[in-house]
A and B are shown apart, each in its own frame.
Chain A
């Protein structure tokens, strides 16, 4: 079992993924016009405003996991310099993602709350920003949403490549999609999980808590969400099967997950709350056309918790290649 990376990187990978996923959901609502069906769309508002803070928090945790880079913070600048390193890609992605998502969140907020916009406009000490208010708000917002989506896809996928790039050192992390397809599974799984946790947070949790979302808005959402859970189940299944077929320490990782030291985390903290419960509840909600508080909030929390433990599980179950 690898011990170099523990909880801090796990939480960071999770926050990065969920932030990216939430922003993609908000942008999807924006571009498909769902955001404008009603005056107030909490899913879009939360999906646009939380990614910045989530990813900032994740980045802070990541910095706290450094050694000399924490004691002498200027060393962090060196991390921008080596482009063969996936970590360098990540540092650049975060550098762009954080401001873009913060601006998108701000624009979405002032669009949602015109009173706040008027208040800001009336501040004398903000007079120098007046030319900015002449920009077409929604079009500017869409530009940032669009750039945000591209960066969010990058953030979600790179967290997987970060692991798969270690290659033969930790075979489980570089497990392929299928034994004969030379594409690593982790980037794909992390992307789907990022979207899934994004939906869990913005639609299930926030949507149910605020307006009982399913009642009147996007009837197809539970189906889409069930499809996501289905795909994620398939990917996790393939990951474990391919790892078992590969043999060696990858297979050992898979065995520890399914029926070994990590089995409790896998079944009790990931599969049941993040896969089984939301799937059943969404099938029920799809039939009913709405979520109850227990189904919406329950599956939202379950999916988010499972997303966190999935990152943790994949990190701790990485076993170095046997020599």
Chain B
């Protein structure tokens, strides 16, 4: 009885070591962090100008042919009753996107230019990405059974146009531009340090930045 017992304990120890070791190893090994290319685009939302009208929500819905009541942008009311202000949330196009880390199929990925996309031919609709996105920026496409989210209107942007939300914003609270051009307005705002990421403690390094007056 002695030998099998020892072998059993050894197996248990090896199994435990493998299971405990894997995540530790992941933390120790250099992740993609080092060679992560810089995001080329930035969207800066000025919450001091945003009136919370929701024109961006509707424009997004129309351009992306989303069903009634669904949009890649949602509105959170902040502040108090006397002085409310509005936080518009969409995919933050994180440089370190947890949605892509947890996606089992590689459907979610980050492009070289920083835009995070979903390859819907690969997506199985497991919704793990929706759980892992700390900004709850993803929606589920019931019809096709896949995850969906803001794609920064990439085809329009690549063609020299603007994301629908930026075009639609009535008070001009949305500023979109290239970060690799130091002359651009977004690059200057970022350099001034006034535009800040939402919840930097998440460690996601978003490309969408906000200009918020601290209360």
Contact = CB atoms under 8 A, between A and B. Distances in A.
A32 interface: yes
Interface stretch (B126-134, B150-158, B184-192): B126-134
A153 B106 contact: no
A268 interface: no
A68 B12 contact: no
B124 interface: yes
B168 interface: no
Nearest to B10: A146
A66 interface: yes
B140 A67 contact: yes
Interface of A: 2, 4-5, 27-28, 31-33, 65-71, 75-76, 78-79, 81-82, 84-89, 91, 142, 146-147, 149-151, 153-154, 157-158, 161, 165-170, 318, 320-321, 323
B146 A168 contact: no
Most buried by A among B16, B76, B104, B140: B104
A81 B105 contact: yes
Interface residues of B, number: 53
B16 A153 contact: yes
B146 A68 contact: yes
Contacts of B183: none
A70 B16 CA distance: 33
Given A32-B5, A78-B107, A323 B89 contact: yes
Contacts of B98: 166-167, 169
B131 A169 contact: yes
20 contacts: A31-B8, A32-B5, A65-B126, A66-B124, A67-B145, A68-B123, A68-B125, A79-B104, A85-B128, A146-B7, A146-B11, A149-B11, A149-B12, A165-B102, A166-B102, A168-B199, A169-B98, A320-B136, A321-B199, A323-B76
